[in-house]
Amino acid sequence: MRKILCIRLGEHAPDIASLLRLGGWDVLQAADLETAQRLQAQPSVLVGALLFGEFAPDQLGPLEDCLQRSPGIEWVGLFAPEALESPALRELALGCFFDYHTLPVDWPVLALTLGHALRRAHLRSQGKAPAPACTSLGMIGHSAALVQLKKQIRKVAATDAPVLIGGESGSGKELAAHAVHQCSWRAAGPFVAVNCGAIAPSLIHSELFGYERGAFTGATVAKAGLIESANGGTLFLDEIADLPLELQINLLRFLQERTIQRVGATRTLQANVRVVAASHVELGQAVAAGRFREDLFYRLNVLPLVVPPLRERLCDVPVLAQHFLQRCRGGKHAWRGEGFGRPALAAMMAYGWPGNVRELYNRVQRATVMAEQRLITPADLGLAVTSAPVGIGLEAVRTLAERDAIALTLGRVDSNITHAARELGVSRMTLYRLMGKHGLAPRV
């Protein structure tokens, strides 16, 4: 049967469920937005009916957020004629509704509209590539912090709302943004990354929005902007805090209206783009300091993600270092040694990693150039020798070796617990216990 989600807001909202069932619809009903958000996540829901009882303008903000979380649903609104006197409701209807009807309900006309909405939704869903089955998401490690981040990425990838990624420099914010893109229905579309701090302020407007021929001196041909180039895909705005204040209002208008205007153009263009932004600066503090627009912050901060620093997932360091070592061995004159010595592993585990994953990669790359022995040493990594292998005792050394063996085995078998337990010669239950002991979370 055809599924339809009916959201009835207000005591006097019309009840059309029985009419819909007679028309062959499977009706899901919600009397509040929290219930609606849970029901609209069902993949088989392609059409929604929004029924107002008493129209209240203060409902529109939360309602708009709710509707934007379901880009695959075609919405039809039903409300009293006088409700259209509200400019806010008219704007909502233009931006989020397939069509609207005024009360009282004219069932034959409404049934025809809902049929058109369903056919349009089917066309839209056929144009979307199914989200890929995401496993590692390109992220190496098994720590509880990283597993939690992967779980959150899979959740936000299922929607089309803006994502704001926080985290320290070098922690992997662009990798997280790319994972969101790859796990979404936009995976077949372009992923356009823009470093807002790397473009000159005088050029960033034309770079983002494009320009027409003759718009300024040197504009001999028209050029599409980066937003337009990301149509059908994802636009990643890295270091969004560096975006000039005067340009933030243009980005806000794009997020609200989903249209852009090239420099020198007289018409607007539609842009079907999902925005993922990132910053190592706390944007809430930037807003308080007057360096970032508050309204833009709230538009971007719909689905926040935080990439943990490497010091909070130290158990991932050995497997990350091994991964980077394999990557660095591809060159013609690459180091041919066996791997990391125990002192090197201990030094990496004792280090604070202020530069996060980027620093780890750089130090491993350095080690493959500087190493002269069979095993990499702390000096090859540019790290101080730690007394851990000598001073912490035999039991602690065994614990470190046990954790490294489990982490490396999990990485080799893509977190398959059965295969890892077989390689390590333990039962699945024992492996789960050891993973909990060392903070190595299973894949979700």
Token digits of residue 416:
């398959």
Label residue 286 exposed, middle or buried (CB < 10 Å: 0-12, 13-18, 19+): middle
Phi, psi at 335, each rounded to 5°? -65, 140
Q: Are strands 339-340 and 269-270 parallel, antiparallel or unpaired?
A: unpaired
**Rounded CA gap, 388 and 377, in Å?**
14
Task: Tell me the backbone φ, ψ of residue 253, rounded to 5 degrees.
Answer: -65, -40
Instruction: Please report the domains of the chain, with CATH numbers, ordered by start residue.
Output: 2-127 (3.40.50.2300), 144-308 (3.40.50.300), 311-438 (1.10.8.60)
Q: What pLDDT, on the 0 to 100 scale, is given for residue 152?
A: 92
For residue 394, the model assigns a pLDDT of 57
Rounded Cα distance, 241 and 285, in Å = 11
What are the helix (H) ranges across 223-341?
Answer: 226-229, 245-257, 283-288, 294-300, 317-328
* Edge-to-edge strands, sheet with 274-279: 191-195, 234-238, 274-279, 163-166, 303-306
The helix/strand/coil state of 111 is helix
- Beta bridge partners, 224, equal 210
Residue of 99, 31, 100, 96 lying closest to 64 (CA atoms) = 96
The one-character DSSP state at 263 is B
Tell me how many helices (H) and strands (E) the chain has: 20, 16
Between CA 296 and CA 342 the distance in angstroms is 49
Over the chain (444 residues), what is each successive 10-residue block's mean pLDDT? Answer: 82 82 88 82 81 74 73 85 83 83 88 89 64 63 86 89 93 93 87 88 84 80 86 91 88 87 83 91 91 92 93 88 82 68 89 94 91 88 70 57 78 79 84 76 53
Please report the pLDDT score of residue 167 as a whole number.
Answer: 92
SS3 content of the chain, % helix, strand, coil (to 5): 50, 15, 35
Q: What pLDDT shows up at residue 43?
A: 66
